[in-house]
Amino acid sequence: MLELLAVPQGRNYIAGRWVDPVGDRMLTSVNPATGEVLGVAPDSSAADVDRAVRAAAEAWPSWRATPAPRRAEILFRAAELLVRHKEELARLATREMGKILTETRGDVQEAIDMTYFIAGEGRRLHGYTTPSEMPHKAAYCVRAPLGVVAVITPWNFPMAIPSWKIVPALVCGNTVVFKPASYTPLLGLKFVELFAEAGLPPGVLNVVTGPGEAVGDALVEHPQVRVVSFTGSTETGLRLAEKCGRLGKRVSLEMGGKNAAIVLPDADLGLATDALIWSAFGTTGQRCTACSRIIVHREVREALTERLVARAEALRLGDGLAPDTDVGPLVSAAQLERVHRYVEVGTGEGARLLTGGRRVTDGALARGHFYAPTIFDQVRPEMRIAQEEIFGPVTDLIEAASLEEAIAILNGVRYGLSASIFTRDVNTAMRAIDEIDTGIVYVNHGTIGAEVHLPFGGTKDTGNGHREGGLQVLDVFSEWKAVYIDYSGRLQRAQIDKD
Ligand code: UN1
């Protein structure tokens, strides 16, 4: 059995073997709470990518010929290994990217859920049959794989997000080259090690670690890569999509969010407070689904504000491994700086800082990238802090005078990932669901907490029309093949031999 915490050091996994990178540069994986160096992983180059893609292309013919139920058996075993190693993986995840253990356990659980759910598709992968226009002619369609898939993932959900992409790509019969985020290379290597241990044949799943500019771009540009699945910033996603457009490749993008919750006067304010604190500050606000705008009806603004500030100030910052920590560090010094710059922008724009807005360096926290949970009020919808994704523990209070105004504010951003509304009135909730322009809507719940068997993704600049999760994700990783079988024994011309 694997020594899970003994992460393979300094090597990529290509064609079923741990291999040294072509160059000798390494990425260092550092615990953002303590500064502890956890290990090294290859700072790979285009030559490493080429090796991995070739291996994946070579493995494809026999993997696509493997019946889907057999492919799925291996994925079920991978799910079992994830279950068995959940705690170790969660602890490594907390050490590598900082969020608290309760949340990294959830992250691993999401990968488990996704793997079981999609492995089940091995015995379905439904197409459909339909009547033909003509007698003695059968018509049906099936899903076919595309070839080599490039998977590029972020560090905030280092287990769940790779599973959203890799597992459906594999069950559909594609082979994969996976580039995990540069902040979480060790988890990327562990993920692949577990799936290899489950029995994937050599070359079916490969991992190449390294920065986006070198490894990500080389993957996207490689002529043998057919599909690119990316989660990350809008800037990078659009840049990759441009390349894919030029090269005629399919690309699935999951990018930014500026998610909002609406709180109406008839809401349960205790519930709303619990949910909004969790949505704004869980994962230290580093979720694409984080609640970074709270649109509150003026009648309950004061009451909600008081509760939120009190709760935010009571959150305990610390190492995510400590049981009493509520909020871990930001992932890096660069991310902390970016968050702080946004706070300065907000203050400069005239928003009022109610709490937070500063780095926290008390005692042992000085070694990590800790930032106080931050709430602004008197935020106007057009301010930059109300329009741009911050990706940190910062949320805005925006006042509205009616449901209509609140929905207009909610929709008035370039993103459309998740949204929520707190009300006890079913008519109001249903009307909001009709009018909110996002891919995910919650009622009496925060903006986070999507489940794997429903489609995940957003409208407008959040994505490019694809969905992860749900059965919808299969559309990213398969091509429809329409089949006509004419058993009439004569020429029957569609559209022409009508009468
Ligand atoms: C993300 O926000 O980056 O819905 C992913 C959620 C999680 C996944 C979040 N299941 O909050």
**Relative to the CA of 417, which ligand 1 atom is closest?**
2
C-beta separation of 69 from 193 below 8 A? no
**Relative to the CA of 286, which ligand 1 atom is closest?**
3
The helix/strand/coil state of 177 is strand
What gap in Å lies between CA 125 and CA 262, rounded to an integer?
38
Measured from the CB, is residue 450 less than 6 Å from ligand 1? yes
What gap in Å lies between CA 70 and CA 74, rounded to an integer?
7
Centre of ligand 1 from the C-alpha of residue 302, in Å: 29
Centre of ligand 1 from the C-alpha of residue 157, in Å: 8
Measured from the CB, is residue 254 less than 6 Å from ligand 1? no
Those residues whose C-beta lies under 8 Å from the C-beta of residue 157, and which sit 6 or more positions away, are 107, 110, 287
Measured from the CB, is residue 417 less than 6 Å from ligand 1? no
Closest among 49, 68, 479 to 250, alpha carbons compared: 479
**Relative to the CA of 257, which ligand 1 atom is closest?**
2
Q: How far is CA 472 from CA 241, 468, 483, in A?
A: 20, 7, 22
Measured from the CB, is residue 93 less than 6 Å from ligand 1? no
Question: Which of 289, 389, 467 best tests ligand 1's pocket when mutated (most atoms within 8 Å of CB)?
Answer: 289
pLDDT value of position 389: 97
Look-up of token digits 């241990």: 197
Centre of ligand 1 from the C-alpha of residue 141, in Å: 33
Measured from the CB, is residue 452 less than 6 Å from ligand 1? no
Distance of CA 290 to the CA centre of its chain: 12
Query: Which phi and psi (to 5°) does residue 84 adopt?
Result: -60, -35
Measured from the CB, is residue 467 less than 6 Å from ligand 1? no
pLDDT value of position 8: 72
**Relative to the CA of 161, which ligand 1 atom is closest?**
5
Q: Say if strands 352-355 and 250-254 run parallel, antiparallel, or are unpaired.
A: unpaired
Q: Which residues are catalytic?
A: 254, 288
Residue whose CA lies nearest to ligand 1 atom number 6: 449
**Relative to the CA of 156, which ligand 1 atom is closest?**
3
Measured from the CB, is residue 301 less than 6 Å from ligand 1? no
Measured from the CB, is residue 449 less than 6 Å from ligand 1? yes
Interior/surface letters 144-170, b for 16+ CB within 10 angstroms, e for the rest: ebbbbbbbbbbbbbbbbbbbbbbbbbb
Mean pLDDT by 10 residues, the chain (499 residues): 60 97 95 97 97 98 98 98 97 98 98 98 98 97 98 98 98 98 96 97 98 94 98 94 97 97 98 98 98 98 98 98 98 98 98 98 97 98 98 98 98 98 98 98 98 98 96 98 98 93
Q: How far is CA 295 from CA 79, 201, 221, 251, 320, in A?
A: 40, 51, 42, 34, 30
Residue whose CA lies nearest to ligand 1 atom number 8: 450
What gap in Å lies between CA 39 and CA 26, rounded to an integer?
10
Centre of ligand 1 from the C-alpha of residue 154, in Å: 12
Centre of ligand 1 from the C-alpha of residue 156, in Å: 9
Interior/surface letters 97-115, b for 16+ CB within 10 angstroms, e for the rest: bbbbbebbbbbbbbbbbbb
pLDDT value of position 2: 43
In the numeric block, which tokens belong to residue 228?
């690119």
Determine how many CB atoms are found less than 10 A away from the CB of residue 137: 15
Question: Which of 331, 448, 462, 473 best tests ligand 1's pocket when mutated (most atoms within 8 Å of CB)?
Answer: 448
Measured from the CB, is residue 205 less than 6 Å from ligand 1? no
Centre of ligand 1 from the C-alpha of residue 130, in Å: 37
Measured from the CB, is residue 438 less than 6 Å from ligand 1? no
**Relative to the CA of 106, which ligand 1 atom is closest?**
10
Centre of ligand 1 from the C-alpha of residue 230, in Å: 15
Q: Say if strands 175-179 and 205-207 run parallel, antiparallel, or are unpaired.
A: parallel
Look-up of token digits 């180059």: 45
**Relative to the CA of 452, which ligand 1 atom is closest?**
10
Centre of ligand 1 from the C-alpha of residue 488, in Å: 53
* Half-sphere exposure in the Cβ direction for 46 (13 Å, CA): 8
Centre of ligand 1 from the C-alpha of residue 447, in Å: 9
Measured from the CB, is residue 440 less than 6 Å from ligand 1? no
Question: In sequence order, what DSSP letters do the residues of 94-129 get, joined into one string?
Answer: HHHH---HHHHHHHHHHHHHHHHHHHGGGGT---EE
Q: What share of the chain is helix, strand, coil (3-state, %, to 5)?
A: 40, 20, 35
Measured from the CB, is residue 286 less than 6 Å from ligand 1? no
